[in-house]
Structure 1
Amino acid sequence: MKKILFYVVLLLLTISCADTQSVHLSFDSTSLQQQYATKKLSESLLKNGYSIAENNAAVTVEFRLDTTLGKEAYTINNQGKNIVLTGGNETGLIYGANSIVEDLKNGIKLNTVENRSESPQLLFRAIKFDLPWDSYRHSYALSQHDEMCRDLEYWEAFLDMMSYNRFNVLTVWNLHPYTFMIKPKNFPEASEWTDEEMKEWKHLFSSIFKMAKERGIDTYVMPFNIFVPPSFAEKHGVALNNLEHHHYVDADTSQIIKTYTRESVTQLLNEYPDLSGMGLTLGEGMGGMTPFEREQWMQETIIAGMQQANRTSKLIHRIPFSGNTESLGATSMEMEQITRDGIEKEAAMEKIEKPVWASMKFNWSHPHSTTKLIKVHGGKLYGKYFDPIPQDFKIVWTVRNEDFFCLRWGVEEFARAHIKANTPDYVGGYFIGSETYIPAKDYFTNPDYKISAKYAFERQWLFYKLWGRLLYNSDTPNTVFINEFKQRYGETHAEKLFKASNLAGKTPLRLVSFFDSTWDFTMYAEGFTYRNPETENVEFIDINRFINQPPLDTTFVSIANYVKNTSQQPWPKEFTTPIMLANDLERDSKEALRLVENITEDNTDLMYEVADIKTWAYMGLYMAEKIKGGLALETYRQNSDSKNKQLAMTHLENALGHWDKIIEITRPIYNDMPLVHYSENNGKTWQENDSLRFHWALLRSDVLKDIDIAKQ
Structure 2
Amino acid sequence: MQFALQDLQIALGDRYVEVNPPGNDAPNITLQIDTLTHLSEEGFSIRKEANRIVVTGYDEAGLMYGTLELVEQIKLYGLEGVKPMVRNPYLEMRGPKFNIPLDVRTPSYTDVSDAAQYNIPHIWDFSFWKDYIDTMARYRYNYISLWSLHPFPSLVKVTGYEEVALDDVQRSTVEWKENYNLMAIGFDAPEILENVEVLKRITIDEKIEFWKKVMAYGKRRNIDFHIITWNIFDYGTQGKYGITDDRNNEITKDYFRKSIEQLFVTYPDLAGIGLTTGENMHGASREEKENWAYDTYAKGILDVAKEMPERQFKFIHRQHQSGAKEIAEKFKAVVDADNVEFLFCFKYAKAHVYSATKQPYHEDANYLEQIEGMKTLWGLRNDDTFYFRWGAPDFTREFINNLPYEDVAKGIYFGSDQWIWGRDFLTKNPLTPNQIEVSKHWYQWLLWGRLSYDPTITNERFKGLLAHKFKGINADKLFSAWQNASMVYPLTTGFHWGSLDFQWYIEGCKSRPKQAENETGFHDVNRFISLGVHPKSGNQSIPDYVKMVSNGSTTTLKTPLQVSEELMNVSNSALNVLEEFKATDSRELQFTLNDIKTVSFLGKYYAYKIEGATYLALFRNSNKKEYQDLAVKALENALDFWKQYVHQAMLQNHNPLWTNRVGIVDWIQITEWVKQDIEIAKQ
Q: TM-score, normalised by structure 2?
A: 0.88
- Aligned mate of 1:650, from 618, 628, 633: 633
Distance, in Å, in 1 between the alignment partners of 2:562 and 2:36 is: 51
Given the superposition, is the C-alpha separation of residues 538 and 199 from structure 1 closer, same or farther in structure 2, using an over 3 Å criterion? farther
- Spell out, residue by residue over 1:176-234, the C-alpha distance to the aligned partner (whole angstroms, 9 max, x if none): 11222211122112112279522331232112211111111121111222222444x52
2:119 alignment partner AA: H
Q: Determine helix, strand or coil for the equivalent of 2:571.
A: helix
| Matching residue of 2:171 | none
- 8 A contact 2:380–2:414 mirrored in 1: yes
- Aligned mate of 2:670, from 699, 707, 710: 699
Which runs of structure 2 are paired with 1:345-384 in the superposition (5 Å)? 345-353=333-341, 356-375=342-361, 381-384=364-367
1:286 alignment partner AA: M
Given the superposition, is the C-alpha separation of residues 344 and 415 from structure 1 closer, same or farther in structure 2, using an over 3 Å criterion? farther
Q: Which has the larger radius of gyration?
A: 1
Distance, in Å, in 1 between the alignment partners of 2:661 and 2:509 is: 18
1:175 alignment partner AA: L
- 8 A contact 2:302–2:334 mirrored in 1: no
Distance, in Å, in 2 between the alignment partners of 1:55 and 1:587 is: 55
Q: Determine helix, strand or coil for the equivalent of 1:539.
A: coil
Unaligned runs of 5+ in 1: 1-33, 243-250, 324-334, 680-688
- Spell out, residue by residue over 1:64-112, the C-alpha distance to the aligned partner (whole angstroms, 9 max, x if none): 2325411111011223454322112221111101001102222512x55
- Aligned mate of 2:49, from 75, 79, 96: 79
Distance, in Å, in 1 between the alignment partners of 2:680 and 2:139 is: 48
Q: CA deviation at 1:321?
A: 2.7
- Aligned mate of 1:509, from 470, 479, 490: 490
Tell me, yes or no, if structure 1 residue 35 matches structure 2 residue 8: no
- 8 A contact 1:537–1:678 mirrored in 2: no
Q: CA deviation at 1:424?
A: 2.7
Q: CA deviation at 1:664?
A: 2.4
| Matching residue of 1:434 | 416
1:63 alignment partner AA: Q
| Matching residue of 1:96 | 66
Report which structure shows greater RCO (CA 8 Å, sep ≥6).
Answer: 2
| Matching residue of 2:198 | none
Q: CA deviation at 1:42?
A: 3.0
Distance, in Å, in 2 between the alignment partners of 1:269 and 1:467 is: 30
Greater shift in the superposed pair: 126-135 or 488-497: 488-497
Distance, in Å, in 2 between the alignment partners of 1:105 and 1:537 is: 54
- Aligned mate of 2:466, from 485, 488, 499: 485
- Aligned mate of 2:117, from 143, 158, 162: 143
Distance, in Å, in 2 between the alignment partners of 1:93 and 1:513 is: 40
- Aligned mate of 1:539, from 511, 521, 543: 521
Q: CA deviation at 1:113?
A: 2.5
- 8 A contact 1:314–1:352 mirrored in 2: yes
Q: CA deviation at 1:407?
A: 0.6
Q: Determine helix, strand or coil for the equivalent of 2:457.
A: coil
Given the superposition, is the C-alpha separation of residues 502 and 351 from structure 1 closer, same or farther in structure 2, using an over 3 Å criterion? same
Distance, in Å, in 2 between the alignment partners of 1:603 and 1:44 is: 21
RMSD: 2.3
Distance, in Å, in 2 between the alignment partners of 1:538 and 1:705 is: 12
| Matching residue of 1:4 | none
Distance, in Å, in 2 between the alignment partners of 1:606 and 1:646 is: 41
Given the superposition, is the C-alpha separation of residues 454 and 54 from structure 1 closer, same or farther in structure 2, using an over 3 Å criterion? same
Distance, in Å, in 2 between the alignment partners of 1:178 and 1:43 is: 41
Q: Determine helix, strand or coil for the equivalent of 1:436.
A: coil
Q: TM-score, normalised by structure 1?
A: 0.84
| Matching residue of 1:319 | 318
Q: Determine helix, strand or coil for the equivalent of 1:296.
A: helix
Q: Determine helix, strand or coil for the equivalent of 2:61.
A: helix
1:516 alignment partner AA: W
2:329 alignment partner AA: D
| Matching residue of 1:247 | none
Greater shift in the superposed pair: 583-592 or 510-519: 510-519
- 8 A contact 2:382–2:415 mirrored in 1: yes
Tell me, yes or no, if structure 1 residue 520 matches structure 2 residue 501: yes
| Matching residue of 2:571 | 589
Which runs of structure 2 are paired with 1:200-599 in the superposition (5 Å)? 200-231=206-237, 233-239=238-244, 251-309=246-304, 310-311=307-308, 312-323=311-322, 335-342=323-330, 344-353=332-341, 356-375=342-361, 381-386=364-369, 389-390=372-373, 393-425=374-406, 426-447=408-429, 449-450=430-431, 454-533=435-514, 539-553=521-535, 555-573=538-556, 575-599=557-581
- 8 A contact 1:409–1:460 mirrored in 2: yes
- Spell out, residue by residue over 1:473-493, the C-alpha distance to the aligned partner (whole angstroms, 9 max, x if none): 111111221122112212432
Tell me, yes or no, if structure 1 residue 709 matches structure 2 residue 677: no
- Spell out, residue by residue over 1:524-568, the C-alpha distance to the aligned partner (whole angstroms, 9 max, x if none): 012121223266866221011111111123532221221133145
- 8 A contact 1:125–1:431 mirrored in 2: yes
| Matching residue of 2:16 | 51
| Matching residue of 1:10 | none
- 8 A contact 2:247–2:292 mirrored in 1: no
1:361 alignment partner AA: K
Given the superposition, is the C-alpha separation of residues 441 and 537 from structure 1 closer, same or farther in structure 2, using an over 3 Å criterion? farther
Q: CA deviation at 1:591?
A: 0.8
- 8 A contact 1:451–1:605 mirrored in 2: no
Q: Determine helix, strand or coil for the equivalent of 2:610.
A: helix
Q: Determine helix, strand or coil for the equivalent of 2:130.
A: helix
1:321 alignment partner AA: H
- Spell out, residue by residue over 1:219-275, the C-alpha distance to the aligned partner (whole angstroms, 9 max, x if none): 1111222222444x5233342xx6xxxxxxxx4331111111111111211221111
- 8 A contact 1:340–1:385 mirrored in 2: no
Unaligned runs of 5+ in 2: 169-200
Distance, in Å, in 2 between the alignment partners of 1:91 and 1:187 is: 39
- Aligned mate of 1:173, from 141, 144, 147: 147
Which runs of structure 2 are paired with 1:616-631 in the superposition (5 Å)? 616-631=599-614
| Matching residue of 2:182 | none
- 8 A contact 2:228–2:274 mirrored in 1: yes
| Matching residue of 2:197 | none
Distance, in Å, in 2 between the alignment partners of 1:702 and 1:674 is: 17
| Matching residue of 2:654 | 671
Distance, in Å, in 2 between the alignment partners of 1:67 and 1:225 is: 45
Q: Determine helix, strand or coil for the equivalent of 2:521.
A: strand
Distance, in Å, in 1 between the alignment partners of 2:533 and 2:393 is: 23
- Spell out, residue by residue over 1:593-646, the C-alpha distance to the aligned partner (whole angstroms, 9 max, x if none): 111112132322111111111112111111111122112212221222222222
Distance, in Å, in 1 between the alignment partners of 2:367 and 2:510 is: 35
Q: CA deviation at 1:695?
A: 4.3
Distance, in Å, in 1 between the alignment partners of 2:611 and 2:482 is: 25
| Matching residue of 2:127 | 153
Distance, in Å, in 2 between the alignment partners of 1:479 and 1:87 is: 25
Distance, in Å, in 1 between the alignment partners of 2:20 and 2:652 is: 52
Q: Determine helix, strand or coil for the equivalent of 2:412.
A: strand
- Spell out, residue by residue over 1:112-150, the C-alpha distance to the aligned partner (whole angstroms, 9 max, x if none): 523211111111112111111211133242121012221
Distance, in Å, in 2 between the alignment partners of 1:170 and 1:226 is: 23
Given the superposition, is the C-alpha separation of residues 205 and 388 from structure 1 closer, same or farther in structure 2, using an over 3 Å criterion? closer
- 8 A contact 2:498–2:531 mirrored in 1: no
- The alignment of Structure 1 onto Structure 2 pairs a total of residues equal to 633
Distance, in Å, in 2 between the alignment partners of 1:230 and 1:408 is: 36
